[in-house]
Structure formats: C-alpha cells, structure tokens
Amino acid sequence: VALELAEAERDAVSAGVGARTRQFIRGVLSAVPQAALTGDPVHRLPGTASFTFTGTSGEAVLLELERRGVISSSGSACAAGSDEASHVLVACGVMPEIAQTSVRFTFGRVPLAVDAPAQLASLVAAAVSAVSGS
C-alpha cells in the first residue's frame, strides 16, 4: 500500500521539487557572478543543484552557509566527506582546482522556511560574498 501511494504521488512531488530547484538555480546564477552550475541544466535529478564558485573554497562556503542556517555538502555525493576534488566533476571536465569550489544542494519533498528558493539563493550569495571578500 505504501509503495502504491508513493508511486501515485511521485510525479506531482517530483514536479514540485524540480520547480523549486530550477527557481533556486536561476536565483543563484543571477545573484552570484562566479557561480557555475555543474551537470546538465535540463536532464538532472529534480531536487539536486551543484555549483562551483570560482575564487572560493567549497569548504569555506559550506561553513559560511552552515553559520547562516543552510546545510549543504561539497562536491558530488560520491566524494562527500573528502577534501579531494570530486572525481565525478573532474571526469566531467571540471578542472580539479575549480571542482574543489563546488557545493551541492538537495531539496526534499517538504519545503521548509529556508527552502524558499529566493531566500536560499540570497543566503548563498551572501555566503559566497563573505568567503570571497567581494
């Protein structure tokens, strides 16, 4: 029964999460000049957005985001917890020194207050600015 309910809701949930993620991506790309989206801009998981922030340290951005109440991760899921550049991003053609600036955001099916895409994009812009000194 649970599987049937989950499958019945899957498309609607995926569409909602995807819409929030796309709005967040647009917000970050317009608010953070050094931001670059990693991965295909269209064919991606609906709740995942990964960016590189040239001129920063991904770990420093993570710490600044956490200080502001935003939990995210660096690199790809395969490299979580590692100080090394994501081998996935490097294999996709991202230079290792740029891959080390990457930060990944994941959105779930239940939006939280900070999950509002515009608010979150503003927090990301402020964190990157604080870390890069710009």
For 67-89, how does the pLDDT look when each residue is reduced to its tens digit (9 = 90+)? 999 989 886 555 555 667 888 88
Question: What is 49-97 written as a DSSP string?
Answer: EEEEETTS-HHHHHHHHHHTT---EES-GGGTT-SSPPHHHHHTT--HH
For 51-70, how does the pLDDT look when each residue is reduced to its tens digit (9 = 90+)? 999 999 889 999 999 999 99
pTM of the model: 0.85
Which positions are catalytic? 78
- The SS3 of residue 4 is helix
* Structural domains of the chain sorted by starting position, each given as residue range(s) with its CATH number in brackets: 2-132 (3.90.1150.10)
Q: What is the dihedral of CA 27, 32, 34, 36, to 10 degrees?
A: -10
